[in-house]
Structure 1
């Protein structure tokens, strides 16, 4: 990774957030002002729909957080393995170089 992984993940998070917000606003219905007796029943059902929207938004945010945490842990593990490989390569014995320098026969 070149170091811009946080920028890429931030853009991905922003994209997923905007898509989820568009889905939530798409679930809403167009309220038309009516003056008959069905207004009270529509008002109670719209309260349930608002609660559903809030619940879906919270679940979406929770999923994004868990996914971000999982990806961050995978990234950390990969970086740790790369650093370990570099360390092993740094301290591996190079017999040819020792022979050329006359340190070993």
Structure 2
């Protein structure tokens, strides 16, 4: 039981580190777009291309994060269902043992 908790801790730590990395990259992309604005109000072609690529990077990262979160919750749902099935099998196994003992007269 302790191993399961420690593995969950590592998964949680990995998820947190991934989210921090995504946030850092996103903030850098946004800050880079803001700090590179020309002061005279005109846009040159290089700035337009860099802001478009920054937006694409942020969009792709958000999509990856969303997919990761959905897959994580689906995995947890699958784990819960698997655990319930194993518990049901265990209960059924013990119920069959009780019926067998009654049939053999070992238990009244």
Whether TM exceeds 0.5 here: the answer is yes
Tell me which of 73, 87, 95 is aligned to 1:69. Answer: 73
Tell me which of 74, 79, 83 is aligned to 1:79. Answer: 83
RMSD: 3.7
Question: Conserved in 2, the CA contact under 8 Å of 1:20 and 1:57?
Answer: yes
Query: C-alpha offsets along residues 47-86 of structure 1, whole Å, 9 cap, x if unaligned?
Result: 1011111101111111111210221121011111111012
Tell me which of 38, 41, 48 is aligned to 1:44. Answer: 48
Change (3 A) 1:81 1:8: farther
Tell me: higher relative CO, structure 1 or 2? Use CA pairs within 8 A at least 6 residues apart.
1
Structure showing the higher helix proportion among its residues: 2
- Segments of structure 1 that go 5 or more residues without pairing to the other structure are 26-38
1:18 & 1:76 partners in 2: Cα distance?
28
Query: TM-score under structure 2 normalisation?
Result: 0.61
Higher radius of gyration, 1 or 2:
1
**Any residues of structure 2 matched to 1:49-64 within 5 Å, and which?**
49-64=53-68
Count of residue pairs the alignment pairs up: 98
